[in-house]
Amino acid sequence: MNKIKEKIHLGKSEDNKKKIDLSKIKELMNVDIKDIKAKLLKNSNNNKKKYFNKSEKKRKVVAFDIGNTSTKIVEGIYYKENLSVSKFIRIPTPKEAISDGAIVNKEILISRLQQTLSENSISAREGICTSNSTSIINREIMIPKVEDDEIETVVRYEIQQYLPINLDDYVLQTNILGEEKFQENQKLNVRAIAYPEKMARGYYEFLELLNLKPYALDVNYNALNKLINYVDIINEYEYNPKESIVFIDMGATSLDVNIYNEGVLKFTRIIKNGGIDIDEILIQMLNISKDEVEQYKQRNINLREENLSTQNGDVVNEIDDWIDKIEKVIQFYKNKNMGIGVDKVFIYGGTSKIKGLSEYMTSKLSISVARIQSIPKIDFNYSNETYESIDSFINAIGSIIRL
């Protein structure tokens, strides 16, 4: 632990002399950018070759999805459109190490993960982090059609017209979604993601302190977007790309609602509720410890219709509140998209494991809801126990896919 303190202190000292080059962090964010043409136009011929070599090189990576209560780690390779995952690891996140997606206690997190990587013989030398946060800004905006090298400038101007933020504190990534005519003028439909620079630096330094080469920094809804476009089938459900599909990551402190249509993220919203709310209800009512809560939920909470009459009323009311908020998000999406409905809802993450939850949500939303239980087209090296919890690793798995 003392060595970690020295290393972190040294990193801070060096940072005062020579700050991490912002372009390095931005490069991590831009690995997934689909507008490759624009990227290439900005680079020389030599850089073109370097860029494509980076994408095509066969490399083993370790990806981290660090949540408030649990950390998911996967080791795998994405090469020539084939994805293989060799190791899955899940450990409790050290208390107060993460807050709203940001690393706030680097020392204790590094200590725990160094031990975990060693114990599990992780051999990858390059690292990826994927996260989500209410401080990450995601907007789909229309801008005048401009030259590629002017897009970021125009997007910055448009964002600052309606958001009271200093974009100098963010790493901005833009992605052209399409082009359309509006009032006789050609417009570009652009997805803009503004990632807090301080948070990005935190993950960059985190990977370096683990003696890993930072390879990419991802956002959960982007990692998921890549995964669903890669597999096409979930739970033997082969969905039509033109359908609107909702994916809800049901974590301990939030419900991350992401809606995709034609294989593209169309809408995202973070609901600040999660499994910890149920835990607090049960701890207070039953006078049990936090360690006993998980066992109690597995044994006693069952939302299937035949069991509802015997369930804890406060727990059911809490879940009803979640569903009500989810329904409002879906309705907002429908209104925003001229009545385009939702065809299917998939839930995943720790809280999705509540017995009967998918059936209960189906009855309340009048939309088919299913928990993700299988993902084809991926070469897994896993135990049966790991595969039963495969939905816990979806964000980390998706982040390995590089476009």
Residue in this structure with the two tokens 């084809």, named with its chain if needed: 376
For residue 355, the 8-state DSSP code is: B
Give CA–CA dist 74/115, Å, rounded.
Answer: 15
Q: What is the pLDDT of residue 33?
A: 35
Tell me whether strands 213-219 and 126-131 are parallel, antiparallel or unpaired: parallel
SS3 292: helix
Give CA–CA dist 239/256, Å, rounded.
Answer: 21
Q: What is the pLDDT of residue 263?
A: 86
Both structure tokens of 172: 């901005």
Q: What is the pLDDT of residue 5?
A: 52
Give CA–CA dist 70/72, Å, rounded.
Answer: 7
Give the DSSP H/E element, type plus range, for residue 13.
Answer: helix 2-17
For residue 19, the 8-state DSSP code is: P
Cα angle vertex 366, ends 364, 370, to 5°? Answer: 85
Domains (range + CATH), the chain: 2-134+196-226 (3.30.420.40), 137-194 (3.30.1490), 238-371 (3.30.420.40)
Both structure tokens of 202: 């935190």
Give the other-Cβ count within 10 Å of 381's Cβ.
12
Both structure tokens of 395: 């964000």
Give CA–CA dist 232/242, Å, rounded.
Answer: 12
Which residues 6+ apart lie within 8 Å of 158 measured at CB?
141, 143
Half-sphere exposure in the Cβ direction for 376 (13 Å, CA): 8
Which residues 6+ apart lie within 8 Å of 276 measured at CB?
68, 69, 252, 253
Q: What is the pLDDT of residue 143?
A: 92
Q: What is the pLDDT of residue 14?
A: 47
SS3 230: helix
Could you read off the pLDDT tens digit of each residue along the chain, which spans 403 residues?
Answer: 555 555 554 445 444 434 566 667 766 765 453 332 233 333 334 443 333 334 567 899 999 999 999 999 999 999 988 999 999 999 999 999 999 999 999 999 999 999 999 999 999 999 999 999 999 999 889 999 999 889 999 999 999 888 888 998 999 988 888 888 877 788 998 989 999 999 999 999 999 999 999 999 999 999 999 999 998 888 888 877 678 999 999 999 999 999 999 888 999 999 999 999 999 999 999 999 888 998 899 889 999 888 888 888 999 999 999 999 999 999 999 998 887 889 999 999 999 999 999 999 999 999 999 999 988 888 887 665 555 688 999 999 999 998 7
Residue 47 CA, distance from chain mean position: 29
Burial group, residue 225, by CB count within 10 angstroms (0-12, 13-18, 19+): buried
Tell me whether strands 344-348 and 244-250 are parallel, antiparallel or unpaired: parallel
Give the other-Cβ count within 10 Å of 71's Cβ.
22
Residue in this structure with the two tokens 């209800």, named with its chain if needed: 281
The two most distant CA atoms of the chain are separated, in Å, by: 68
